[in-house]
Structure 1
Amino acid sequence: MELRQLEHFVAVAKHLSFTRAAHEVSVVQSSLSSSVSKLEHELGTPLFDRTTRTVGLTSAGWALLPVAQRILREIHAAKEAVAAVTGVLRGRLAVGTIQLLSWVDLPLSLSKFHQTHPDVEIALREAPVDELLEEVIIGELDIAYIARDYSKLPDTIAVLATWDEELVIIAPRDHPLARQGQIFLSDLGEEPFVDFQAGSGLQKVVEHLCEQAHLKRHITLSVTQLDLLISLVRSGLGIAIIPAPVARGTDLASIRIAGPVPHRKLALVSRTPQPSNPAAVALLRDVHGLTLG
């Protein structure tokens, strides 16, 4: 039994898809399937029930999963311990992020970090907030950038930093709203809306904002991808409410919302106030100027 086989098994178990698992571990699907098949042969039992459409864990797979996850976490912790003693950053840094992250240029920040610490393997995972929190809790992610809504975070989550982002309305530049500097949400009852539904926390914040303004939005389209939302608004199929920094990166008109400035809160989270992974500590210091401990 090889460590890589356990990594491949855990990836398939997480996604219940050989295609998505292969993408996560950066191997071709045929190699991943071969690796899992060899592990099943060594153990003498199938770990997955496979059909042409679905993949599911067998009872043996369910029994192996927590053990394999614990082994991988301990291997990760061992690498971190050695790195802490030698003073050389090595190993793996797992970072999670929501789709609409605009406060920090994460690709640029990770690129600079990699140039400074080339021996650190960086894994970046984009997912909805609930999935990111779960993966932080079980140790699959070292840190994660999330969007807060009005629910309480689990007690096992530590907030390392927070930021506020103003929310604005976007519309085509030839839209009548584009000529206004600001507008009350209550005046938008006749406007069609494109709604962003990617589990980023933004959706609940926007719903709460509209409830407070007594606005019942006429939602004509719901999307989960930012690029598609921007294209639909540009095509005149509706207006949308998004963070101001995101709006500034588009060619659309940005209209401020009148009244108290609406905002959403972003948070950088970890399992503990002091991440155990030295690479995570270095990233927080280099990118955000955070000195923990």
Structure 2
Amino acid sequence: MELKQMRYVVAVADTGNFTRAAEQCLVVQSALSHQIARLERELGARLFDRTSRRVRITPAGEAFLTAARQCLEAAERASANVAAAVGEVRGRLAVGLIPTVAAVDIPGALRDFRRRYPQVRISLRVGASDDLVEQVVQGSIETAFLGLPITARPEGVRVRELARDRLVAAVSPEHPLAGEKSVALSRLAAEAFVDLPAGTAGRVQSDQAFSAAGVDREVAFEVTTAEFMVRLVSEGLGVAMLPASYVPGLSGITTIEVTDAPARVEYAVWNQAGCTPAAKAFLSLLGIAADTEDTAGRPPRSRAR
């Protein structure tokens, strides 16, 4: 059994197609198919059911796939650790991010990191805070930057608190409240709201605040991105609650201070087992020491804004 065979199996499982998998692995399809067939003979089980229309992974293939991914990741970590021991940083850097993080400039940091460490393969995944924490725990991403209500804290990962922020109300410029300097949640409760899906960390912080204020609200529009929330608000379809540090660069909306606004905490998180050399170098670029945890709320030394 060879690493390249595992790599071919993972590629077919991910693409669902032998031709696309071969293109991804930079080999001809016949070579990829031959190696997978050879592996199946060695294992004594078919990993994929093939028809003229589709490729479907078998239960045996699913069982093999989990271990294959782990082996490939371990091999990559071993290579990266050896490189780090001789002063090189290479391998991969997979970063997770929620769009409203404002304590650090992740795009700018990735740009600087690529210039400094061109041998590292960089990827970025944007998602919800809870999902990103789980991906860090599982090892599919090395580090993530997220926001949680002050009543919650990331679990199962190492944590660095970056900043604390309060939410503000976002309305269209034509909204009757647009001229107000401040507003209470009790007054906002009569409005139709645009918010994230129920149960997500970004939604929970607002739900908890309205509950604490003793009022109910209607979330008429559930969307998955802050960008689309802003678009709906700008069209006058509803009101949204957004982090104060996120809104200065937005257009088409007006923001209002909320006297009893909910707060959130922005965090950097990474795996409890430690960082890969690439992740350690990236966090260092942001002024975060990966060998320590700091939840005291001090922002990183660089790229804070």
Residues 99-120 of structure 1 deviation map (CA, whole Å, 9 limit, x = unaligned) = 3323222111100111111121
Aligned CA distance change for structure 1 residues 247 and 115 (closer, same or farther; 3 Å)? same
Counterpart residue number, 2:270: 270
2:208 aligns to what SS in structure 1? Answer: helix
Instruction: Tell me how far 1:268 sits from its aligned partner.
Output: 1.0
Aligned CA distance change for structure 1 residues 208 and 113 (closer, same or farther; 3 Å)? same
Alignment equivalent of 2:37, drawn from 34, 41, 44? 41
Instruction: Tell me how far 1:47 sits from its aligned partner.
Output: 3.1
Alignment equivalent of 1:31, drawn from 19, 23, 40? 23
Instruction: Tell me how far 1:86 sits from its aligned partner.
Output: 0.8
Q: What is the rounded CA distance, in whole Å, between the counterparts of 2:258 and 2:96 in structure 1?
A: 30
State the one-letter code of the partner of 1:42.
R
Q: Is the 8 A contact 2:205 2:262 kept in 1?
A: no
> 5+ residue gaps in structure 1?
none
The two structures have a TM-score, normalised by structure 1, of 0.82
Q: Is the 8 A contact 2:189 2:216 kept in 1?
A: yes
Q: Is the 8 A contact 1:40 1:46 kept in 2?
A: no
Q: Is the 8 A contact 1:182 1:255 kept in 2?
A: yes
Counterpart residue number, 2:299: none
2:265 aligns to what SS in structure 1? Answer: strand
Counterpart residue number, 2:259: 258
Counterpart residue number, 1:87: 87
Q: What is the rounded CA distance, in whole Å, between the counterparts of 2:201 and 2:53 in structure 1?
A: 31
Instruction: Tell me how far 1:199 sits from its aligned partner.
Output: 6.7
Q: What is the rounded CA distance, in whole Å, between the counterparts of 2:235 and 2:8 in structure 1?
A: 43
Instruction: Tell me how far 1:186 sits from its aligned partner.
Output: 0.5
Q: Is the 8 A contact 1:193 1:238 kept in 2?
A: yes
Aligned CA RMSD, in angstroms, stands at: 3.3
Q: What is the rounded CA distance, in whole Å, between the counterparts of 1:50 and 1:193 in structure 2?
A: 48
State the one-letter code of the partner of 1:207.
D
Counterpart residue number, 1:292: 291
Q: Aligned ranges for residues 14-29 of structure 1 at < 5 Å?
A: 18=15
Counterpart residue number, 1:63: 63
Instruction: Tell me how far 1:142 sits from its aligned partner.
Output: 1.4
How many residues end up aligned between the 2 structures? Answer: 282
Aligned CA distance change for structure 1 residues 9 and 234 (closer, same or farther; 3 Å)? farther
Aligned CA distance change for structure 1 residues 178 and 147 (closer, same or farther; 3 Å)? same
| Range moving further from structure 2, 159-168 or 185-194 | 159-168
Identity %: 32
Counterpart residue number, 1:131: 131
Q: Aligned ranges for residues 203-242 of structure 1 at < 5 Å?
A: 203-242=203-242
Aligned CA distance change for structure 1 residues 71 and 211 (closer, same or farther; 3 Å)? same
Q: What is the rounded CA distance, in whole Å, between the counterparts of 1:229 and 1:52 in structure 2?
A: 43
The two structures have a TM-score, normalised by structure 2, of 0.79
Instruction: Tell me how far 1:36 sits from its aligned partner.
Output: 7.4
Q: What is the rounded CA distance, in whole Å, between the counterparts of 1:173 and 1:282 in structure 2?
A: 43
State the one-letter code of the partner of 1:127.
G
> 5+ residue gaps in structure 2?
293-305
Larger radius of gyration: 2
2:177 aligns to what SS in structure 1? Answer: helix
State the one-letter code of the partner of 1:137.
V
